[in-house]
């Protein structure tokens, strides 16, 4: 009995005969078509980076930031449908606020990931909703040190040393695996994140993009999530352009 083209993808709450939820798979396809986003957990924090495709020359540079803060010590980046991502950030802020109101302290990063993962999974259960078309990468620093998680459209989430999502996911993942992630510093991770985004952009090099980078680190930012300075971003771009140029020369 085939599960292809027989109507099992019309309802979010029905499994196909071989146990697949097609709506979740379609949401994953939306993620694969999105801009590349990555995060690196280093020894003293977490670094986020994003390839933000410029879809119009009329857009204001630096506006519409896609890496956002959900609590002072937690940042989020996502690949996929931008409105879905903004809703997830809003929900994340509510979860962080509710925890702080109830327990009078900042939410631990793993508890935050658990709550947001459960919320994501709830949207795969009912006919009245659809799965979120995003992969959410979140990370931060708490009393137990730095943490990094990625939540899939299904609601599943895992802890990572390095995570990547979007169109350039495979290229980014290959480059992340080459790094000594447990021992890399946040400052070095910023340069490496920029280099990886530039490499991942090679498949869509005909399109202009903006590089967006943020970090949260006990030593560099006092445990607060924030975007890197314009000077630091310029240095990271210069490092990435030089590194990718050297790699192109070696291939020739």
- What value does the mean pLDDT take over residues 92-108? 97
Burial letters 26-60, b for 16+ CB under 10 A, else e = ebbebbeebbbbbbbbbbbbbbbbbbbeeeeeeee
The pLDDT > 70 percentage for the chain reads 95
- What value does the mean pLDDT take over residues 44-58? 93
Q: Contact at 8 Å (CB) between 180 and 42? A: no
CA 220 to chain centre: 21
pTM value is 0.92
The pLDDT > 90 percentage for the chain reads 80
**200 pLDDT higher than 50:** yes
Band (210; pLDDT cuts 50, 70, 90):
very high
Least confident of 6-20, 49-63, 78-92: 6-20
Q: State the pLDDT at residue 62.
A: 83
Supply 122's token pair: 């709830």
Sign of the torsion angle spanned by Cα atoms 57, 138, 197, 168: negative
pLDDT per position as a tens digit, 172-195: 999 999 999 989 999 999 999 999
Domain 33-249: CATH superfamily is Aminohydrolase, N-terminal nucleophile (Ntn) domain (3.60.20.10)
Q: State the pLDDT at residue 244.
A: 84
Band (246; pLDDT cuts 50, 70, 90):
low
Burial letters 68-82, b for 16+ CB under 10 A, else e = bbbbbbbbbbbbbbb
Q: State the pLDDT at residue 2.
A: 47
Neighbours of 10 (CB within 10 A): 10
- What value does the mean pLDDT take over residues 217-228? 95
- What value does the mean pLDDT take over residues 240-247? 83
Q: What are phi and psi of 224, to 5 degrees?
A: -105, 140
Q: State the pLDDT at residue 250.
A: 56
Closest CA to 116 of 100, 137, 143: 137
- What value does the mean pLDDT take over residues 200-206? 80
Q: State the pLDDT at residue 8.
A: 85
Q: CA separation (Å) from 17 to 22, 40, 90, 127? A: 11, 39, 36, 18
Supply 6's token pair: 């027989």
């Amino acid at each position: 009995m085939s599960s292809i083209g027989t109507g099992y993808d019309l309802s979010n709450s029905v499994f196909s005969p071989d146990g697949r939820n097609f709506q979740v798979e379609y949401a994953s396809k939306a993620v694969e078509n999105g801009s590349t986003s990555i995060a690196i957990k280093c020894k003293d924090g977490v670094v986020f980076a994003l390839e933000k495709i410029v879809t119009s020359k009329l857009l204001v540079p630096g506006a519409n930031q896609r890496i956002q803060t959900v609590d002072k010590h937690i940042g989020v980046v996502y690949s996929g449908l931008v409105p879905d991502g903004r809703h997830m950030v809003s929900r994340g802020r509510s979860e962080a606020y509710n925890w702080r109101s109830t327990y009078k302290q900042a939410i631990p990063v793993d508890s935050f990931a658990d709550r947001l993962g459960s919320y994501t999974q709830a949207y795969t259960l009912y006919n009245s909703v659809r799965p979120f078309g995003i992969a959410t990468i979140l990370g931060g620093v708490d009393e137990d040190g730095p943490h990094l998680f990625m939540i899939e459209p299904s609601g599943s989430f895992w802890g990572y040393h390095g995570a990547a999502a979007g169109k350039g996911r495979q290229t980014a993942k290959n480059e992340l695996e080459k790094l000594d992630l447990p021992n890399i510093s946040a400052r070095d991770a910023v340069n490496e994140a920029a280099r990886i985004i530039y490499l991942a952009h090679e498949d869509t090099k005909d399109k202009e993009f903006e590089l967006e980078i943020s970090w949260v680190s006990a030593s560099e930012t006092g445990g607060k999530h924030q975007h890197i300075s314009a000077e630091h971003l310029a240095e990271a771009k210069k490092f990435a352009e030089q590194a990718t140029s050297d790699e192109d020369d070696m291939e020739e």
